[in-house]
Amino acid sequence: MITRTMIAIALLLGACESSEPAKSQTAVKAAPKGVGYDLRRLRPKDGETLAAMFERMRAQAQSEGKRVAVLFSADWCEPCRKLDLELGNTHPVGDIGHVRIFEIKEEEWEAATRMDEFAALRKRWYEPADSYPVFIVLDDGGNAVEEMKDAITRLEQAGVSPTVATWFRGFTSS
């Protein structure tokens, strides 16, 4: 008797199911699509100085409506490697899609014996030579708006999680 009852209940429940999807399934909205960071590495190129390459690429990014950030890093630097991991993540386009990052690795310029160019460009925005990473958001004129270390302090004081995506969210495109 119990088996018959269980079968009858199962059949009744099956008959009560609608062919339409449940409201909870149709009400679920797709999560915003994540995008990766717009990251470009500037590598030594014969016939073009780093400063000229940077300015050419900065102008191109601005013509595409992008705010520009510049990142000076080194492979031997542990905080740089942690930052590289973050830059491999995706986030909603509204958080990071409006910023183009130009990364300049110390080792690549050192190997090409062009560290003078690397140092000169870095000193344009950040004087200390022995601190890594140096990550700076620029304004439309190519001037520093905020360096990452200052952003971390500002965001923490505001009670906000100091992530790159949170930092970038505070800037509009150029």
Asked if residue 15 is part of any domain, the answer here is no
Between CA 46 and CA 85 the distance in angstroms is 30
Per-residue pLDDT of the chain (174 residues; tens, 9 = 90+): 443 433 333 333 333 333 444 444 444 555 567 899 999 999 999 999 999 999 999 999 999 999 999 999 999 999 999 999 999 999 999 999 999 999 999 999 999 999 999 999 999 999 988 889 999 999 999 999 999 999 999 999 999 999 999 999 988 765
The total domain count for the chain is 1
Nearest CA-CA partner of 100 in 34, 43, 39 = 39
158: amino acid identity, one letter: A
Strand partners, 104: 72
Q: What is the CATH number of the domain that holds 137?
A: 3.40.30.10
Residue ranges of alpha helices (H) inside the chain are: 2-16, 23-27, 50-63, 78-86, 93-96, 106-111, 115-123, 148-157, 164-169
Asked if residue 9 is part of any domain, the answer here is no
Asked if residue 92 is part of any domain, the answer here is yes
Cα angle 41, 102, 34 (rounded to 5 degrees) comes to 95
Asked if residue 115 is part of any domain, the answer here is yes
Asked if residue 126 is part of any domain, the answer here is yes
Look up the domain containing 63 and give its range.
34-169
Spatial contact of 138 and 58, defined as CB atoms under 8 Å apart: yes
Strand partners, 56: none
Nearest CA-CA partner of 33 in 95, 75, 81 = 95
Asked if residue 123 is part of any domain, the answer here is yes
Asked if residue 174 is part of any domain, the answer here is no
pTM of the predicted model over 0.85:
no
158's tokens: 């505001």
